[in-house]
Every structure is written in C-alpha cells, then in structure tokens.
Amino acid sequence: MRDPGDFHLDLPAGACPAPFSLPEKIHRRAWAAARQCTAPRPDDPALSIRAVVIHATAGSSTDGAVSVMEEARASFHWLVPDENEHAHGSFVWASAPEARACWHVRNSCFHRHVCHGARRINDWSLGVEIVNAQSGGDAFSDWQVRITAEIVRYAWAKYPNLAHVVSHARLDPKRRTDPGPHFPWEAFKRLTFKDVR
Ligand SMILES: [Zn+2]
C-alpha cells in the first residue's frame, strides 16, 4: 500500500496528448453553487494553470459532494461518479468553470516540488473529486481511475503550462490523506502517459 502523500506526477514539457473533448456534463446544481464558492483567477487560466490536484470525497455520492459546494465549504472542477450512480461509465460531472479558481486546497499549503513551493494553489490549479468513501470496502472502479486519467490528459492537452499532478495528501499532509492509499496511482500514471512518451 502506498502513502498517498507520495502521489506526484510531473508532466514532461514538450509532449502531450492530442486535444480531445472530455465526456462531461454540467452539473446544474453544482454550477449554480459555484457562483458563491469559487473566485476569479488572478491570471489568464490558459497560461496560469500549472497543476491538477486529485481528491476523493470520503463520502458516498455525487449529491453529497455537490451539497458541500452548496454550503460554500469547498469546490472543485470535476466530480467523478461512483459505481452505483447512473453517470458512472458514461461521463464525469463538470462542477465549476475551469476559468474560475475552486476552493480545494488551503491557501497556506505548498510543496517544494510543485511550482517551486508557490502557495495559493487554487489560483493556478484544477481540482478533481472522485466519489469514494476512502474506507476499506470501497475500491475505486477501473472506470473511475481511467476517466480521472482522461481528465488529466484533457487538461494537459489544453493548458500548455500544466506540469504537475498531485494528491491533496501531497499538498496538505497534516490534514488530508485523499485520495487515500487504495487509489491505484501506478495504474493511473500509466493511463495518463498512455501513447505520450
Ligand atoms: Zn481533498
């Protein structure tokens, strides 16, 4: 079992997948809530997005994760549904506009190997939440792992300065363990780099 605090991929400069459109649908409740739980990015997102942060909800449903946004406690750009939900196997939920900064990492957090230790990671990152209880009995499905890699590949093709993919645990090791030790990081890494190098 791996320590989720070690989950870290650096994306090679000068190589990326060909652009493609992600199988995503706007989650209308999340999108409405995003008005009150996201912020403008200080710089042009096309050039300033440098990281993708992988989270797991520690909950059991898309609805539960969306209610966190409705209560303005946190926000994220995509939500990967769980096995027992109708979207599973078909599409991910777009929960907030990529052009907005979501609230998924504390502003004081940093990692010295992620953008040279820059803080305010939300300003220059995208957040992916995978619906998973993060307890022993709830494995990540193959599709959840594959589609999470597809989200990264989509962003990698779109944002020329995207350089890092890291777990929330990597950035906030004292408070967070997500996506947890059961997330198959090596398989996720292989899927992310498929056909790229
Ligand atoms: Zn998290």
Q: Does some domain include residue 95?
A: yes
Res 197: pLDDT: 65
Pair of tokens at residue 170? 């990597």
Q: Does some domain include residue 7?
A: no
The SS3 assignment for 192 reads: helix
The residue ranges of the chain whose pLDDT is under 70 are 197
Sequence letter at residue 90: S
Res 135: pLDDT: 80
Q: Does some domain include residue 8?
A: no
Residue with tokens 């957040």: 127
Say how many Å lie between the CA of residue 19 and the centre of ligand 1. Answer: 27
Q: Does some domain include residue 128?
A: yes
Res 137: pLDDT: 82
Q: How many domains does the chain have?
A: 1
Q: Does some domain include residue 120?
A: yes
Residue 167: count other Cβ atoms within 10 Å of its Cβ. Answer: 27
Say how many Å lie between the CA of residue 27 and the centre of ligand 1. Answer: 19
Say how many Å lie between the CA of residue 156 and the centre of ligand 1. Answer: 21
Q: Does some domain include residue 177?
A: yes
Say how many Å lie between the CA of residue 152 and the centre of ligand 1. Answer: 16
Pair of tokens at residue 159? 């944002």
Q: Domain limits at 169?
A: 23-193
Q: Does some domain include residue 122?
A: yes
